[in-house]
Structure 1
Amino acid sequence: MLENYKRHLRSDLENKKMGNMESWEREREREMILDIFVQKLGEGPDLKVNNSIEKFTGLASSDNLTQHYEKRKMEASDCTAGWIKNLVEKLANLTPAPALAGLGAFAIAVFIDVVSFSPPEDSTKDSLRCVFAEEKASEVWDQIDECLKRCMAHIKNKDELRSNIERIECQLSAALTKLKNSMLRDNHMSSQALKAWVNGAAFHIQMLIHLVRLGGIQTCDPVKGFLSTYQSDLDTLFKKHKEFIKEKCYYSIWSLVFNFPCLVDEDSKSHYLRPHALGSYALRSPAFRPRALDPHISFDRYVEALYEHRYSRQMREVQLYFSDVTQNLQRLVEQRGYFNV
């Protein structure tokens, strides 16, 4: 009797082991199918902080401005003398000052593009304006546009510059709140709106940093508060965006007809995995092919893989941007910018 019990026990253990191996193998096959699915996906729309904001408001803002000026000067060739004269009239005798760092450098870069007649596709301002093409983001862009214009107009008058930025900062903050609530509360979520909010929030933080430089804000505490708030908002907005993307995705009828997964994405584009797309592994493994046609991969796992590939990585880059600003905050507010024509 004891021997029978031992035999049954060994048999159960062997069956369990075989079952575990089969489960592991099937999971490995599912992962392979998901990998192939992701490889066939294109990139999603760009939701990251615009390069012009990073370049002209970071710790190397003055160096990047100088490089931008030299590039435009080389491109202008025969017209160089005329537009440099315009620059000299506006920016001659500038000494290193807080007003020339960050937003100041950004405003000068925009002015250089204007006087050098840079083509729209290469314009610093136009590249940023495209971020706010969403109709609901127009109010955010209006405030940013006004801020850059005032930064240039009062670049030699610290008091006027400070008072103008203080006024516009409040209006931009309100516009960002309105845009955020339209996505979260009114269900007007879209990738374009989320991108506009991300860039509007990044610009707003730079306005606050500039106010600290100019003495309009006495400590970094308000900036830290907004940074914390925006990082929290960022998590909430991307969660809502993920729900938005999932709602727009669905399985195509071809999934049932041909017995292989066909996911229609947020842009109504079909992504399907035909048997021949499984590659050499499937050809070498007959046991793999039938399960590939019926992989038991849930709809949620396909959408999760799509979102990770197209958006989650971008979300982490945006989070890193705000984290870097937080980490370098003191160095940013202590900046003194410079520019020589």
Structure 2
Amino acid sequence: MGNSPCNPSPDTVNELFSIAQSRGIVPDAGLDGTLGTFLSLNSSVALSHQYADIQRSLSPERLTSYNHDLATTFGDGAQIAFGGVGIVALALSLLLEVLAHHTLSDPIQRIFGADHSSDIGTLVSEYLKQVPKVANEPQKMAEVTERYDRALAHELIDFYEVMTVDRRMSSASIKQWLNGAAFHLHLRIHQVRMGAYKKGYAESLGISYKAGFPVLIKTYTEYLQRHVRERPPGPLPGLLIIEPFRNMTHQVHHRPCESDAIANRIASKVLEAQGIQRSMDFFEETEKHMDSLISQQGNFSLQANVSKSM
């Protein structure tokens, strides 16, 4: 059988999607690379490389100022407990970045996006800003971590229900929840690492998040299928809508009857580009390497610029 006369060519779909990517209207809803790097077994190496790269990139004057800022925060030549590991390594990485570039912008916004439909990003930001102050005080670190563990658990459960039950869905919401769940799981792992809980405390959370993925992804897929719309150019410019506030005009000509099929294929390509399956793989890998992650014990030395074994 031949193709339907209203079946768009792959070239048409690919051209439209390529233009959408170049104009920045394809949403980012996947796991941020910073979390993937520092919430991993390679966190110590990644942090050491970042620290060395920053030092090499700064002028002598800026390096002196940079080292002074670090010494003011931690003490001269300090070692930070668990500094090369997991959420502490993440906190140090973001601090090193901010001090190096003297930026007022919050790198947490890069991870969680600018949308404020939940408090997930705010809670993570608050916690990570406190970590450098309490990392070398085990009791305070345990108390702060416990407090934010509870707050994040409550916020993530509520926000999951907002998306899947109330159907108040968006790409920004998915991004916040996925990154928040990844961070929360590793916050639990750090509590186990510090000896506050048994392995099952983190393990059960990972299982719970994995169990919630199918409904979440199904709801998001349906959301995209409802919102992606396309019309060809005619008297007016062509129009592609991905979701509210993400749209563009275009001049990609095709038959009007192809628009519905184009919209469906664009929705599928958006899902592929976002790498949500890779985000889910992060939780699989965390579960697979749970014992190794818990046993990580790397301090971080600002003076020697290497991760030390406790």
Which TM class, normalised by the smaller chain length? Answer: 0.7 to 0.9
How far apart, in 1, do the equivalents of 2:33 and 2:206 lie?
A: 19
Q: Equivalent residues in 2 for 1:43-192 (5 A)?
A: 43=21, 44-77=26-59, 78-89=61-72, 90=74, 92=76, 98=82, 100-119=84-103, 124-128=107-111, 131-137=112-118, 139-192=119-172
Tell me by how many angstroms 1:202 deviates. Answer: 0.8
TM-score relative to the length of structure 2: 0.81
Q: 1-side partners of 2:183 and 2:144: how far apart?
A: 15
Q: Distance in 1 between matches of 2:134 and 2:102?
A: 23
Corresponding residue SS for 1:72: helix
Distance 1:58 1:31, change over 3 A: farther
1:174 to 1:322, Cα distance in 2 relative to 1, 3 A: same
The change in CA–CA distance for 1:271 and 1:73 in structure 2 (over 3 A counts) is same
Q: Which residue identity does 1:106 align to in structure 2? A: L
1:247 is aligned to 226
How far apart in 2 are the matches of 1:83 and 1:67?
A: 16
Q: Compared with structure 1, are the counterparts of its residues 80 and 183 closer, same or farther at alpha carbon in structure 2 (3 Å cutoff)?
A: same
How big is the shift at 1:272? 7.4
User: What is the CA distance between 1:234 and its match in structure 2?
Assistant: 2.4
* Cα drift, residue 71 of structure 1: 2.0
User: 1:322: Cα distance to partner?
Assistant: 1.4
Which residues in structure 2 correspond to 1:203-242 (within 5 Å)? 203-219=183-199, 221-242=200-221
Give, in whole Å, the separation in 2 of the partners of 1:81 and 1:253: 58
For the 8 Å contact 1:227–1:322, the answer to whether it is kept is yes
Superposition deviation, residue 108 in structure 1: 1.5
- 1:334 aligns with 295
Matched to 2:70, the amino acid is L
Aligned to 1:195: 175
- Paired with 2:241 and 2:62, the residues of 1 have a C-alpha distance of 51
Q: Does 1:311 align with 2:271?
A: yes
Task: State the shift of 1:177 in Å.
Answer: 1.4
Distance 2:77 2:269 in 1: 50
The separation in 2 between residues aligned to 1:50 and 1:263, in whole angstroms, is: 26
Deviation at 1:268, TM superposition (A): 3.8
Code of the aligned partner of 2:166 = D
- Equivalent position SS for 1:26: coil
Q: For residues 135-190 of structure 1, what are the alpha-carbon distances to aligned partners after superposition, in whole Å with 9 as ceiling and x for unaligned? A: 212x1122111221232111111222112101110101111112112222222211
Alpha-carbon distance in structure 2 between the residues aligned to 1:251 and 1:117 = 42
C-alpha distance in 2, partners of 1:331/1:63?
15
SS at match of 1:174: helix
- Give CA deviations for 1:254-308 in whole Å, capped at 9, x if unaligned: 69x9xxx986543343567636xxxxxxxxxxxxxxxxx58x8693x43442122
1:258-269 aligned at under 5 Å gives the runs 264-266=241-243, 267-269=246-248
Residue 37 of structure 1 corresponds to 13
CA distance in 2, matches of 1:303, 1:172: 36
**Corresponding residue number in structure 1 for 2:3:** 26
Q: How many residues align?
A: 290
- Deviating above 6 A after TM superposition, structure 1's stretches of 4 or more consecutive aligned residues are 29-32
- Listed as ranges, the gaps of 5+ residues in structure 1 are 1-22, 276-292
Question: C-alpha distance in 2, partners of 1:272/1:33?
Answer: 16
Letter in 1 for 2:276: M
**Residue ranges of structure 2 left out of the alignment (5+ in a row):** 304-310
Q: Determine helix, strand or coil for the equivalent of 2:41.
A: coil
1:98–1:213 contact (8 Å) kept in structure 2:
no
SS state of the match for residue 299, structure 2? coil
Structure 1 pair 246/269, CA: closer, same or farther in 2 (3 Å)?
farther
Deviation (angstroms), 1:65: 0.9
Distance in 2, matches of 1:271 and 1:37, equals 12
Q: What TM-score comes out, normalization by structure 1 length?
A: 0.74
- Of structures 1 and 2, the larger Rg is shown by 1
Q: Quick one: structure 1 residues 251 and 68, their matched pair in 2 at CA, closer, same or farther if it must change by over 3 Å?
A: closer
1:325 to 286, 291, 301: 286
Q: Deviations 1:217-266 (Å, cap 9, x if unpaired)?
A: 112x23222222222322212211222222223453869x9xxx986543
Measure, in 1, the Cα distance between the counterparts of 2:75 and 2:279: 34
SS of structure 1 residue aligned to 2:58: helix
